[in-house]
């Protein structure tokens, strides 16, 4: 029985929409995964040499490794807290079957360990156990240490799950823990206490002493049992149902009063602010406004205009690109409604067009302070801003007619590839590569400022002729509507 | 006069014909009930009339114009097939306001129309701070049906309007549709699994089976019985024609 449950879990993964993507997307995502695994694997494997190099007079390396461990674990805990979730609702179909609740909860907890956050630490633990531990502490430790370390990772795993659940129910406890962590870090920062020493004192014994190496296993079992008892009490579905949030009072009424076009823009803004996936995209855009700090402040990039151009397009257009590449896909859930109502397609697309421009204007204003790094930052941001609103808006609008994969608005956007098709990758070429190449053409002759002016000019021409490309977009939309509608209806 | 005229309409998915209608006409002002088992092609027919899918051959003429070529029908056709017609992150009020604006209704007009449906809403739809996605299936359906009626359409197309509604609301909707049929020139196209409801207020009933029209009845006292007979016959394997063809799902 227990094995059957695990087999279901495996089938769920294999049959998820993720694997139903086209081959092009699959291969690309596979390459990305391989890239990350390889780079972390590389880092993990050569951790010995890296630490050796940094601490030349250290007698043993494991104490240094142990000193840093606490920081990794705290960061890991925060990451897990936001990206990991466990919910009885995912197994509710078992609750009415003749399987004991205890078994279902055990299954839920045990099957949760198969995730990315538990794979990553292995890339560091295993090489260290093989390459460093034997020469520093002997062969028997080679076996015990990695097991203890794995238990340490699992403590984090179950602790994050528990904390997340406690937050949902007892907000006070969550804030208490957050305050404690914050205070701890502050104390470390002001050198009142030394967290590295603490980390070393806690984790180094795992490599030195077999008996002491057992405590993580004990603690892991304890955290597991706390979780288990907690979840067992929670198997009634009403304990999980969060109250439906009250509708936002913010209706963008100033737009609503301006006829169908205003209403469509208001709808679009409501779409962005009332759904989880679009909201994450919105927050991320604010974060990306800081992207330039890495490059404008850095000597190495100060004269690399091509690279700064890329940064400029990215910063002023991040929301537009994030949002624009799934245009209409966002509305897949009610696409049939769009097709049968007396929508004016012109206003439908103009609403999107103005909104993309608006987002670029906001991002442009946010990035104006970069002028602090020199007036060239201002020129670059202005040129890329104009190119974004003139040309890239047109590209995104037209490309939207090739979107035919539904997007579920209620899911978060981190690690979410739903709705991603070849179009999302191909679109990068006109969006980024073409302007960079055009600019490069001027740069060869040391005419950087002419290059910028040229891109700005292209943008202005695009703006002036936007009616033409909106018309072309609508034409293409009508040709593709049956295919797209059929695609959007394939919801899970 | 025929408001909708269907000619040689054919649709198949991967080689299986799901709809094949040589000829079907709907009279203006008439109410038509469409019945048939799952996979009979009811939703496919509605989707073709609404130009949501492309026919393999044939055409649907609405007021004489091909729905796949002209978009004039959108202004006088109200429809609700499924939740795919609802913008679920809006509140019902916002949704109605949006639909009204597409039809050029003022806020006053809208209020007047909506106030007629207060009973139908049972106080659970308007003025509530709830998104459509958080409403129950039944309440979502109410929003969709009233949304379809907002533009005072000449043609109203509803797919399974009685499903998911509580018994009282079902009767209320039936009375409302009956009233629309009697008091206005609206053409009603209603599909339903509830034979009694359609037999009650539809002037004409069409039975679809495996994509083909097998019965076209002008309603009278015997109709409900005739309908029940037909579907009972099917499970008993009465007519050889039924057992020969395979079930197709839409």
pLDDT tens track for A272-311: 988 888 888 888 888 788 878 878 877 777 778 888 888 8
Residue B118 to residue A198: CA distance in whole angstroms: 67
Strand duo B204-209 + B31-35: pairing: parallel
From chain B, pick out residues whose CB is under 8 angstroms from the CB of A331.
87
Q: What percent of chain B has pLDDT over 90?
A: 61
Residue B237: CA count within 13 A, CB half-sphere = 3
Put simply, whether B89 touches A (Cβ < 8 Å) is yes
CB-CB under 8 Å, B98 with A340 = no
Q: How confident is the model at residue A169 (pLDDT cuts 50, 70, 90)?
A: low
Concatenated DSSP letters for A409-453? TTS-STT--TT--HHHHHTHIIIIIHHHHHHHHHHHTT-HHHHHH
The domain limits of chain B are 1-76+157-222, 84-152
From chain B, pick out residues whose CB is under 8 angstroms from the CB of A274.
89, 131
CB-CB under 8 Å, A343 with B99 = no
pLDDT tens digits, B112-124: 999 999 988 988 8
Q: Is the pTM of this model over 0.80?
A: no
Maximum average pLDDT range among A85-94, A187-196, A411-420, B181-190: B181-190
Residue B95 to residue B98: CA distance in whole angstroms: 5
Q: Which of A68-82, A152-166, A235-249, B94-108 has the lowest mean pLDDT?
A: A235-249
User: Is A192 in the same domain as A297?
Assistant: no
> Residue B243: its pLDDT value, please?
42
Asked if pLDDT for residue A100 goes beyond 90, the answer is: no
Q: Within 10 A of A37 (CB to CB), how many other CB atoms are there?
A: 13
Asked if pLDDT for residue A251 goes beyond 90, the answer is: no
Name the burial class of residue A265, with classes exposed (0-12), middle (13-18) and buried (19+) by CB atoms within 10 angstroms of its CB. Answer: buried
Residue A199's domain comprises: 2-239
CA A427 to each of CA A233, A250, A325, B168: distance values in angstroms, whole numbers, following the listed order:
49, 34, 8, 53
Q: How confident is the model at residue B83 (pLDDT cuts 50, 70, 90)?
A: confident
**Higher pLDDT, residue A258 or B155:** B155
Measured in angstroms, the CA of A73 and the nearest CA of chain B are apart by 38
CB-CB under 8 Å, B131 with A337 = no
User: Is A293 in the same domain as A184?
Assistant: no
From chain B, pick out residues whose CB is under 8 angstroms from the CB of A268.
none
Structure tokens at B37: 């088992």
A439 assigned to some structural domain: yes
pLDDT tens digits, A253-271: 888 877 888 889 999 999 9
Asked if pLDDT for residue A492 goes beyond 70, the answer is: no
Residue B248 to residue B41: CA distance in whole angstroms: 9
Chain A residues 355-414 with CB within 8 Å of chain B? 409
CB-CB under 8 Å, A246 with B83 = no
Q: How confident is the model at residue A240 (pLDDT cuts 50, 70, 90)?
A: low
Residue B155 to residue B151: CA distance in whole angstroms: 10
Asked if pLDDT for residue A168 goes beyond 70, the answer is: no
Put simply, whether B81 touches A (Cβ < 8 Å) is yes
Backbone dihedral angles phi then psi of residue B96, each to the nearest 5 degrees: -60, -40
Q: Rounded mean pLDDT of A467-492?
A: 89
Asked if pLDDT for residue A83 goes beyond 80, the answer is: no
Cβ–Cβ < 8 Å for A241, A87: no
User: Is A212 in the same domain as A257?
Assistant: no
> Residue B247: its pLDDT value, please?
43
> Residue B47: its pLDDT value, please?
93
Q: How confident is the model at residue B245 (pLDDT cuts 50, 70, 90)?
A: very low
The rounded mean pLDDT for chain A is 84
> Residue A282: its pLDDT value, please?
85
Number of DSSP helices (H) and strands (E) in chain B, helices first: 9, 10
CB-CB under 8 Å, A333 with B88 = yes
From chain A, pick out residues whose CB is under 8 angstroms from the CB of B93.
none
A161-175 exposure pattern, b = at least 16 Cβ within 10 A, e = fewer: bbbbbebeeeeeebe
Put simply, whether A271 touches B (Cβ < 8 Å) is yes
From chain A, pick out residues whose CB is under 8 angstroms from the CB of B84.
333-337, 489
Q: Which of A34-43, A216-225, A242-251, A446-455 has the lowest mean pLDDT?
A: A242-251
Put simply, whether B134 touches A (Cβ < 8 Å) is yes
Put simply, whether B113 touches A (Cβ < 8 Å) is no
User: Is A49 in the same domain as A14?
Assistant: yes
From chain A, pick out residues whose CB is under 8 angstroms from the CB of B18.
none
Residue A239 DSSP label: G
> Residue B112: its pLDDT value, please?
92
Is the reported ipTM for this assembly greater than 0.90? no
User: Is A183 in the same domain as A278?
Assistant: no
User: With respect to CATH, is domain B1-76+157-222 assigned 3.40.50.300?
Assistant: yes
CB-CB under 8 Å, B89 with A334 = no
- Of the candidates A271, A339, A343, which has its C-beta nearest B89's C-beta? A271
User: Is A235 in the same domain as A258?
Assistant: no
Q: What percent of chain A has pLDDT over 90?
A: 24
> Residue A414: its pLDDT value, please?
57
Residue A105 to residue A5: CA distance in whole angstroms: 11
Coil/strand/helix, residue A158: helix
Q: Give the domain-ending residue among A191, A208, A239.
A: A239
A294 assigned to some structural domain: yes
Structure tokens at A362: 């906001």
CB-CB under 8 Å, A244 with B98 = no
User: Is A299 in the same domain as A422?
Assistant: yes
Cβ–Cβ < 8 Å for B184, B12: no
Cβ–Cβ < 8 Å for B63, B72: yes
**Higher pLDDT, residue A208 or A364:** A364
CB-CB under 8 Å, B131 with A247 = yes
> How far from chain centre, in Å, is Cα A90?
22
Q: Give the domain-ending residue among A239, A263, A291.
A: A239
Q: Rounded mean pLDDT of A436-463?
A: 90
A246 assigned to some structural domain: no
- Of the candidates A263, A271, A331, which has its C-beta nearest B101's C-beta? A263
Strand duo B2-13 + B57-62: pairing: antiparallel
A182-202 exposure pattern, b = at least 16 Cβ within 10 A, e = fewer: eebeeebeeeeeebbeebbeb
Q: How confident is the model at residue A242 (pLDDT cuts 50, 70, 90)?
A: low
A222-245 exposure pattern, b = at least 16 Cβ within 10 A, e = fewer: ebbeebbeebeebbeeeeeeeeee
Q: How confident is the model at residue A241 (pLDDT cuts 50, 70, 90)?
A: low
Q: What percent of chain A has pLDDT over 70?
A: 92
Asked if pLDDT for residue A96 goes beyond 80, the answer is: no
From chain A, pick out residues whose CB is under 8 angstroms from the CB of B151.
342
> Residue B244: its pLDDT value, please?
41
CB-CB under 8 Å, A343 with B102 = yes
A264 assigned to some structural domain: yes
User: Is A112 in the same domain as A13?
Assistant: yes
What are the percentages of helix, strand and coil residues in chain A, rounded to 5? 80, 0, 20
User: Is A458 in the same domain as A321?
Assistant: yes
A446 assigned to some structural domain: yes
Q: How confident is the model at residue A151 (pLDDT cuts 50, 70, 90)?
A: very high
Q: How confident is the model at residue A376 (pLDDT cuts 50, 70, 90)?
A: confident
Asked if pLDDT for residue A22 goes beyond 80, the answer is: no
Residue A217 to residue A152: CA distance in whole angstroms: 8
A245 assigned to some structural domain: no
Q: Rounded mean pLDDT of A158-181?
A: 78
User: Is A117 in the same domain as A261?
Assistant: no
User: Is A220 in the same domain as A274?
Assistant: no
Residues whose CB falls within 8 Å of the CB of residue A436, separated by 6 or more in sequence, listed in order:
A306, A309, A310
Q: Rounded mean pLDDT of A63-69?
A: 88
User: Is A96 in the same domain as A211?
Assistant: yes
CA A259 to each of CA A265, A337, A346, B103, B151: distance values in angstroms, whole numbers, following the listed order:
10, 19, 14, 11, 16
A187 assigned to some structural domain: yes
Residue B167 to residue B161: CA distance in whole angstroms: 12
> Residue B249: its pLDDT value, please?
42
From chain A, pick out residues whose CB is under 8 angstroms from the CB of B51.
339-340
> Residue A422: its pLDDT value, please?
66
Total structural domains within chain A: 2
Residue A211 to residue A218: CA distance in whole angstroms: 11
Q: Within 10 A of A294 (CB to CB), how many other CB atoms are there?
A: 10
Give me the helices (H) in A170-275, please: 171-189, 195-203, 205-208, 215-233, 253-256, 259-274
pLDDT tens digits, A385-431: 999 999 999 999 999 998 888 888 877 665 566 666 666 777 888 88
């Amino acid at each position: 029985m227990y094995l059957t449950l695990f087999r279901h879990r495996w089938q769920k993964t294999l049959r998820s929409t993720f694997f139903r993507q086209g081959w092009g997307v699959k291969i690309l995502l596979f390459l990305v995964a391989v890239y990350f695994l390889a780079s972390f694997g590389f880092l993990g494997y050569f951790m010995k040499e890296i630490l050796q190099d940094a601490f030349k007079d250290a007698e043993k390396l494991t104490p240094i490794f142990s000193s840093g461990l606490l920081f990794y674990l705290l960061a890991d805990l925060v990451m897990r807290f936001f990206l990991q979730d466990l919910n009885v609702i995912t197994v509710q179909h078992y609750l009415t079957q003749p399987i004991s609740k205890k078994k279902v909860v055990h299954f839920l907890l045990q099957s949760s360990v198969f995730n990315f956050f538990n794979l990553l630490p292995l890339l560091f633990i295993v090489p260290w156990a093989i390459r460093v531990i034997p020469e520093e502490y002997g062969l028997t430790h080679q076996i015990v240490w990695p097991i203890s370390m794995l238990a340490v990772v699992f403590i984090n795993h179950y602790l994050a799950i528990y904390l997340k659940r406690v937050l949902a129910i007892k907000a006070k406890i969550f804030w208490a823990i957050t305050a404690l962590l914050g205070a701890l870090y502050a104390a470390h920062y002001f050198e009142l206490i030394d967290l590295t020493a603490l980390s070393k004192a806690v984790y180094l014994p795992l490599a030195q002493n077999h008996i002491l190496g057992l405590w993580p296993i004990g603690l892991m079992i304890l955290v597991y049992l706390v979780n288990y008892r907690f979840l067992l009490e929670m198997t009634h579905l009403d304990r999980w149902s969060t109250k439906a949030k009250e509708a936002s009072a913010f209706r963008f009424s100033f737009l609503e009063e301006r006829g169908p076009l205003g209403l469509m823009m208001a709808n679009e803004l409501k779409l962005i602010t009332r759904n989880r996936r679009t909201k994450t995209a919105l927050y991320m855009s604010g974060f990306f406004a800081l992207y330039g700090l890495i490059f404008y402040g850095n000597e190495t990039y100060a004269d690399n205009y091509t690279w700064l151009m890329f940064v400029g397009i990215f910063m002023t257009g991040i929301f537009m690109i994030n949002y624009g590449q799934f245009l209409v896909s966002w509305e897949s859930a009610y696409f049939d409604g769009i097709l049968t109502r007396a929508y004016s397609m012109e206003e439908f697309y103009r609403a999107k067009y103005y909104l993309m421009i608006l987002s670029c204007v906001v991002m442009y204003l946010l990035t104006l302070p970069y002028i602090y790094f020199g007036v060239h930052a201002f020129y670059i941001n202005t040129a890329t801003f104009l190119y974004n609103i003139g040309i890239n808006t047109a590209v995104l609008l037209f490309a939207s007619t090739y979107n035919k994969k539904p997007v579920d608005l209620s899911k978060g956007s981190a690690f979410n590839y739903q709705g991603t098709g070849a179009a999302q990758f191909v679109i990068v070429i006109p969006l980024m590569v073409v302007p960079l190449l055009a600019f490069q053409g001027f740069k060869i002759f040391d005419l950087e400022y002419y290059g910028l002016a040229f891109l700005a000019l292209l943008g202005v021409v695009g703006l002036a002729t936007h009616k033409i490309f909106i018309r072309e977009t609508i034409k293409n939309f009508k040709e593709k509507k049956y295919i797209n509608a059929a695609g959007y209806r394939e919801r899970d | 006069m025929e408001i909708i005229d269907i000619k040689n309409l054919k649709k198949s998915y991967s080689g299986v014909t799901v709809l094949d209608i040589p000829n079907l006409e709907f009279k203006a002002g008439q109410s038509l009930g469409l019945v048939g088992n799952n996979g009979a092609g009811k939703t496919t027919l509605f989707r073709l009339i609404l130009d949501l899918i492309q026919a393999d051959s044939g055409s649907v003429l609405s007021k004489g114009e091909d729905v796949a070529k002209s978009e004039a029908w959108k202004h006088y056709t109200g429809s609700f097939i499924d939740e795919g017609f609802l913008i679920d992150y809006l509140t019902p009020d916002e949704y109605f306001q949006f639909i009204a604006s597409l039809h050029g209704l003022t806020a006053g007009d809208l209020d007047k129309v909506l106030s007629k449906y207060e009973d139908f809403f049972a106080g659970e739809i308007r003025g509530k701070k709830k998104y459509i996605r958080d409403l129950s299936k039944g309440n979502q359906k109410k929003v969709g049906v009233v949304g379809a009626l907002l533009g005072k359409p000449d043609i109203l197309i509803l797919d399974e309007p009685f499903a998911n509604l509580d018994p009282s609301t079902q009767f209320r909707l039936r009375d409302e549709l009956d009233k629309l049929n009697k008091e206005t020139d609206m053409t009603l196209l209603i599909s339903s699994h509830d034979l009694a409801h359609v037999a009650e207020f539809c002037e004409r009933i069409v039975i679809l089976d495996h994509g083909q029209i097998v019965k076209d009845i002008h309603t009278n006292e015997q109709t409900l019985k005739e309908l029940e007979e037909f579907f009972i016959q099917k499970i008993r394997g009465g007519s050889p024609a039924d057992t020969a063809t395979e079930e197709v799902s839409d």
